[in-house]
């Protein structure tokens, strides 16, 4: 039976076109259309995936080839550290501005002072401050006058104490040499000695006052 089929197939005529080429069979046309549809609707080669579990398995474990390709190409780029340089530059600029302002102010003050010294410019005067300064100067002059008077008092009182001391010694000597007036001279001698002692105490207080006024006027 098989021999009959083979002989029948061999005796079938193959259609020949007019130019001598074999004609296309209907089955061949259908196969070509199917291949074209598969090529159009098939997956993109750039998006092919590796599927675990074989053909027809679930979508779990799918690894896109684009991910694999990108992971091999991406390399971290080193970012230059410019933060430290900016900080240092900012500090330098700030210091330069401080020095610049100081230089300008110093120049202006020096120029104004020289102009005032040589009479080329008007004095920079704050009326309220000038009034206070004048009051302080007047107060200082008054304190200087008090100091001068206190020093004069100290000198005079020192001379008085020394005179009282000498007078007490003289009365004591007379009380010994004049028996008839011994009691009176003795009383006067004791009085002068007591005055001299109290005068020395007062002289110490006056000296402290003079020292304080001198410190206030000349050292503050």
Question: Each residue of 9-53: pLDDT tens digit?
Answer: 444 444 444 444 444 445 556 656 665 665 555 555 444 444 444
Which is nearest to 149 in space by CA: 198, 217, 220? 217
Q: How many Å apart are CA 66 and CA 206, to the nearest integer?
A: 107
Here the tokens at position 110 are 């020096």
Task: Determine the pLDDT at residue 115.
Answer: 83
* 89 — pLDDT class (breaks 50, 70, 90): confident
Sequence-distant (6+) residues with CB within 8 A of 216 are 143
Neighbours of 168 (CB within 10 A): 20
Tell me the percentage of the chain whose pLDDT exceeds 70: 60
Domain spanning 130-218: CATH superfamily: Arfaptin homology (AH) domain/BAR domain (1.20.1270.60)
Are 56 and 42 spatial neighbours (Cβ–Cβ below 8 Å)? no
Element (H, E) at 140: helix 127-177
Sequence-distant (6+) residues with CB within 8 A of 123 are 116
* 119 — pLDDT class (breaks 50, 70, 90): confident
pTM of the model: 0.42
Over residues 195-209, the pLDDT tens digits come to: 999 999 999 999 999
């Amino acid at each position: 039976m098989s021999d009959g089929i083979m002989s029948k197939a061999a005796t079938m005529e193959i259609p020949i076109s007019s130019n001598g080429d074999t004609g296309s069979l209907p089955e061949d046309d259908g196969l070509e259309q199917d291949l074209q549809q598969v090529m159009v609707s098939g997956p993109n080669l750039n998006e092919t995936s590796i599927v675990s579990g074989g053909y027809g398995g679930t979508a779990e474990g799918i690894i896109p080839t684009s991910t694999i390709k990108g992971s091999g190409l991406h390399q971290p780029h080193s970012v230059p550290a410019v933060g430290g340089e900016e900080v240092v530059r900012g500090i330098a600029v700030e210091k330069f501005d401080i020095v610049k302002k100081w230089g300008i102010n110093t120049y202006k003050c020096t120029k104004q002072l020289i102009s005032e010294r040589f009479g080329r410019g008007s004095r920079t005067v704050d009326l309220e401050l000038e009034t206070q300064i004048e009051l302080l100067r007047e107060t200082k002059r008054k304190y200087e006058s008090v100091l001068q008077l206190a020093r004069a008092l100290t000198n005079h009182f020192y001379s008085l104490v020394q005179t009282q001391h000498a007078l007490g010694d003289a009365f004591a000597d007379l009380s010994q040499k004049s028996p008839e007036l011994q009691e009176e001279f003795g009383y006067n001698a004791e009085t002068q000695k007591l005055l001299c002692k109290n005068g020395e105490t007062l002289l110490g207080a006056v000296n402290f006052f003079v020292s304080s006024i001198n410190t206030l006027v000349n050292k503050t």
